[in-house]
């Protein structure tokens, strides 16, 4: 097993709170705390695909590392391995067979980490930090897609130093999601582009943003036939847009909803509006989770257009979230996201990753 050197509590399993018995607002939901969390803000979380037995969680952080934990059925988390970049890790993803983890970093490179050998090698290079990385598995090809602040979207066969394809984007890539055969990229200046991945990746459509503020996160959802049919887009203005690619009635089917805002119903106090940091869809129920700078997570049913649950407020923003392959576990990371600027950054403050049982809470509400 490996060296997550800096953090104590290596083997303590991490069930329950780490000894902080007082109602510490760092874990008001009393969820399972992952052991040996990273030393700086967590930028991304991803669970292993169903092809692998068990649940493995990877998390990339601003401490330049990406860590892997095994999540056991009894809730215990065991740190397994770690890899480093030379710059903060911004995104990470798994290959479809679960044997490799791909990581993207501010150091403008992306790496492929073979978990069996615990070796990582560079597989991509950009002219700017790589913000999004996704594995694409098509019937006739497999590759890695990287979106960067250098305004390009590149596709890499991991065996070659040169990209298979490089597509120019109007602006810097801020977030992306891939569900074959669809890929969505949201860029700076509210750009929104949908790509189709059949045969080879190509731009499918540029969409006028349904949101009026900076794009922050995007997640594709599927229809009842398990085909990608639309996406949820979150912005810095506490709002998520649900957008279908080809809806029968766009005006009615597409909508936006507000979230991650402080209660400003009182006329006098201004309402605080927080950024939506990440969106994840439950793999089974199709309901979604959003996490925000306000330190809360919420579950929503987009078909019934209702909110299912909102958590208590954590003392730090929640920066990343993900579901495991069967939707039983919801992981979310509590760390500073810079939403209040550098003044509020405290390098000493501990960062957390929590695991929550998600089997029940994300069941869709029956539409009335």
Chain positions 128 to 157 lying near another protein, rule: CB under 8 A, are 128-129, 131, 148-150, 157
Dihedral angle sign, alpha carbons of residues 150, 186, 83, 342: positive
Separation between Cα atoms, residue 247 and residue 285, nearest integer Å: 20
Torsion of CA 98, 327, 277, 121, to 10 degrees: 0
Least spacing, CB of residue 16 vs another protein, in Å = 29
From the list 186, 115, 102, 187, the residue with the least C-alpha distance to 145 is 102
251 φ/ψ angles, rounded to the nearest 5 degrees:
-60, -35
Give me the residue label for tokens 């700078």: 293
Considering the complex, state which of residue 35 and residue 105 has its C-beta at the smaller distance from another protein.
Answer: 105
The secondary structure element, H or E, covering residue 250 is: helix 250-253
Torsion of CA 323, 61, 314, 243, to 10 degrees: -50
Q: Is 51 in the site for another protein (CB under 8 A)?
A: no
Q: Is 12 in the site for another protein (CB under 8 A)?
A: no
Considering the complex, state which of residue 279 and residue 355 has its C-beta at the smaller distance from another protein.
Answer: 279
Determine the interface stretch with another protein among 22-30, 223-231, 302-310, 335-343 (rule: CB under 8 A).
335-343
250 φ/ψ angles, rounded to the nearest 5 degrees:
-55, -40
Least spacing, CB of residue 6 vs another protein, in Å = 12
Q: Is 170 in the site for another protein (CB under 8 A)?
A: yes
Q: Is 77 in the site for another protein (CB under 8 A)?
A: no
Least spacing, CB of residue 74 vs another protein, in Å = 28
Residues 268-287 that bind another protein (CB under 8 A): 268, 270-275
Q: Is 266 in the site for another protein (CB under 8 A)?
A: yes
Least spacing, CB of residue 22 vs another protein, in Å = 27
What contacts 48, CB < 8 A, 6 or more positions away? 54, 55, 56, 57, 58, 94, 98, 324, 325
* DSSP state for residue 251 in the 8-state scheme: H
Coil, strand or helix at 195:
strand
Determine the interface stretch with another protein among 29-37, 50-58, 308-316, 340-348 (rule: CB under 8 A).
340-348
Q: Is 213 in the site for another protein (CB under 8 A)?
A: yes
Residues 292-321 that bind another protein (CB under 8 A): 293-294
Considering the complex, state which of residue 184 and residue 275 has its C-beta at the smaller distance from another protein.
Answer: 275
Determine the interface stretch with another protein among 6-14, 29-37, 219-227, 262-270 (rule: CB under 8 A).
262-270
Considering the complex, state which of residue 205 and residue 309 has its C-beta at the smaller distance from another protein.
Answer: 205
Q: How many residues bind another protein (CB under 8 A)?
A: 84
Q: Given candidates 22, 74, 225, 265, which one binds another protein under the rule CB under 8 A?
A: 265
Separation between Cα atoms, residue 3 and residue 164, nearest integer Å: 36
The torsion region of residue 317 among left (phi > 0), alpha (psi -120 to 50) and beta comes to beta
Q: Is 267 in the site for another protein (CB under 8 A)?
A: yes
Separation between Cα atoms, residue 363 and residue 125, nearest integer Å: 41
Considering the complex, state which of residue 106 and residue 353 has its C-beta at the smaller distance from another protein.
Answer: 106
Residues 91-120 that bind another protein (CB under 8 A): 106-109, 111-114, 116-120
Determine the interface stretch with another protein among 48-56, 207-215, 249-257, 282-290 (rule: CB under 8 A).
207-215
From the list 98, 101, 107, the residue with the least C-alpha distance to 83 is 101
Separation between Cα atoms, residue 207 and residue 185, nearest integer Å: 10
Q: Is 180 in the site for another protein (CB under 8 A)?
A: no
Least spacing, CB of residue 102 vs another protein, in Å = 13
Q: Is 162 in the site for another protein (CB under 8 A)?
A: yes
Separation between Cα atoms, residue 169 and residue 37, nearest integer Å: 35
Least spacing, CB of residue 40 vs another protein, in Å = 9
Q: Given candidates 159, 224, 252, 368, which one binds another protein under the rule CB under 8 A?
A: 159
Separation between Cα atoms, residue 160 and residue 124, nearest integer Å: 9
The secondary structure element, H or E, covering residue 252 is: helix 250-253
């Amino acid at each position: 097993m490996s060296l997550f050197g800096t953090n104590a509590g290596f083997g303590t399993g991490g069930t329950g709170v780490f000894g902080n018995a007082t109602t510490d607002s760092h874990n008001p939901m009393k969820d399972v705390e992952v052991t040996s969390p990273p030393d700086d803000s967590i930028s991304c979380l991803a669970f292993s695909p169903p092809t692998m037995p068990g649940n493995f969680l990877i998390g990339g952080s601003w401490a330049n590392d990406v860590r892997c934990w095994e999540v056991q059925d009894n809730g215990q988390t065991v740190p397994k391995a770690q890899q480093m970049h030379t710059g903060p890790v911004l995104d990470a993803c798994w290959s479809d067979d679960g044997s490799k983890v791909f990581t993207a970093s501010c150091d403008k490179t992306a790496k492929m980490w073979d978990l069996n050998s615990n070796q990582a090698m560079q597989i991509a290079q950009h002219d700017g930090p790589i913000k999004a990385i996704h594995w694409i598995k098509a019937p006739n090809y497999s590759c890695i897609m990287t979106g960067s602040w250098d305004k390009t979207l590149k596709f890499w066969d991991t065996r070659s130093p040169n990209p298979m394809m490089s597509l120019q984007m109007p602006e810097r890539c801020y977030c992306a999601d891939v569900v074959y055969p669809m890929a969505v990229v949201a860029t700076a200046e509210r750009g929104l582009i949908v790509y189709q991945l059949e045969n080879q990746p190509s731009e499918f459509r540029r969409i006028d943003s349904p949101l009026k503020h900076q794009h922050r996160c995007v997640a594709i959802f599927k229809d009842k036939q398990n085909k990608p049919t639309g996406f949820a887009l979150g912005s810095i203005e506490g709002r998520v847009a649900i957008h279908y690619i080809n809806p029968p009635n766009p005006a009615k089917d597409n909508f936006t909803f507000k979230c991650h805002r402080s209660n400003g119903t009182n006329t006098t106090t201004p309402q605080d509006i927080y950024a939506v940091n990440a969106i994840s869809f439950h793999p089974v129920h199709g309901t979604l989770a959003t996490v925000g700078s306000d330190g809360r997570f919420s579950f929503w049913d987009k078909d019934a257009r209702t909110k299912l649950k909102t958590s208590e407020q954590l003392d730090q923003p929640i920066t990343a979230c993900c579901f495991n392959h069967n939707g039983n576990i919801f992981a979310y990371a509590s760390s500073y996201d810079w939403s209040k600027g550098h003044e509020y950054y405290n390098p000493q403050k501990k960062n957390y990753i929590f695991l929550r049982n998600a089997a029940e809470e994300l069941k869709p509400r029956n539409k009335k």
